[in-house]
Amino acid sequence: MTGAAGFIGSRVVEAAAEAGHEVLAVDAPDRALAPGAARRTWDALTLPKVELDLASADLRPLTSADVVVHLAGRPGIRSSWGAEDDIHRDNVVATRRVLAAAGGRVVVASSSSVYGSAGRDRPTREDDPLAPASPYAVSKVAAERLARRCPDTVVLRYFSVYGPGQRPDMAFHRFTEAALAGRPLPVFGDGRKARSFTHVDDVVAATLAAVTAGVPGGTAINVGHPEPVTVRTAIGLLGRILDVRPDIENAAPVAGDADRTWADPSLARDLLGWTPRIALADGLADQIAWHREIAPAVL
């Protein structure tokens, strides 16, 4: 399990162990976008673990695994501009090396950003054309292409994941911390962008299902909530949960950030038996509770 010090990976590895899988957690916390948070998560992890830089280390520890769940990488559209070398190294080179080292199935984390923006008339399906619009999205397309050539790979296209432990650069994390501190919420653009926000526990469930499901090799599968919500609407929900009227501070939109993502999760239902269960209002309350109770001790 790579990326085990990360936001999503740390929850997947714990859930996999709880489900009875024998796990080995792999990460190089110093390579994380938020190395301080990753290092704390890594140090707190009590499962078997090995620190390996996947872009350069000897990856023999992965060879004997029945399944490698590969979530390590450098996420984020905004921070990918100007960081092309790191992006290529940690998303493409690392994935190529993991695919070469693995002896069995590899479940690879990809992203809704490979599609560019969704249309207005229908959600995005896996066979829709890809239109990556940032160095990050381009790297995810490249990693997918390498993965889909291999005999037993499942590519999961995650859509805007949120929930407890969310990365500090992500929107709900920044909004919640700002609201709790009485500061205006930093919004890139005018708040009209819509996202298929997907709770991390739903993402964990889809990822664990992909470990064992009968899926044809090289299949890409959307892991996203089917109801897109605008950033403005999400901020309204956040204000109601916190019982505050949030001030907003608009900043320039981020280049390459899609106007809309909108997942069609039918293939995930058919192949993984997975349907997202957590509504945004409940999931956001869950994330806010984490910021109130746990984040102050770990951030």
Q: Which residues bind ligand NAD (CB under 6 A)?
A: 2-3, 5-9, 27-29, 31-33, 38, 53-55, 71-75, 90, 94, 109, 111, 158, 160-161, 167
User: Which residue's entry shows tokens 């499942």?
Assistant: 154
- Between the alpha carbon of residue 209 and those of residues 77, 253, 272, 284, the distances in Å are 27, 36, 6, 24
Nearest Cα neighbor of 177 from 280, 299, 268 is 299
136 is catalytic: yes
Encoding tokens for residue 156? 């999961």
Cα–Cα distance between 13 and 9 in angstroms, integer? Answer: 6
Nearest position to ligand NAD, beta carbon: 6
Q: Which is nearer to ligand NAD, 31 or 105 (CB)?
A: 31
Element (H, E) at 69: strand 67-70
Asked if residues 44 and 4 have their Cβ atoms less than 8 Å apart, the reply is no
Count of beta carbons in the 10 Å neighbourhood of residue 196: 26
Q: Which is nearer to ligand NAD, 91 or 178 (CB)?
A: 91
Q: How far is the CB of 62 from ligand NAD (least distance, A)?
A: 11
Q: How far is the CB of 258 from ligand NAD (least distance, A)?
A: 12
Q: How far is the CB of 148 from ligand NAD (least distance, A)?
A: 16
Asked if residues 35 and 29 have their Cβ atoms less than 8 Å apart, the reply is yes
Point out the catalytic residue in the list 115, 136, 158, 162.
Answer: 136
Q: How far is the CB of 233 from ligand NAD (least distance, A)?
A: 18
Catalytic residues: 136
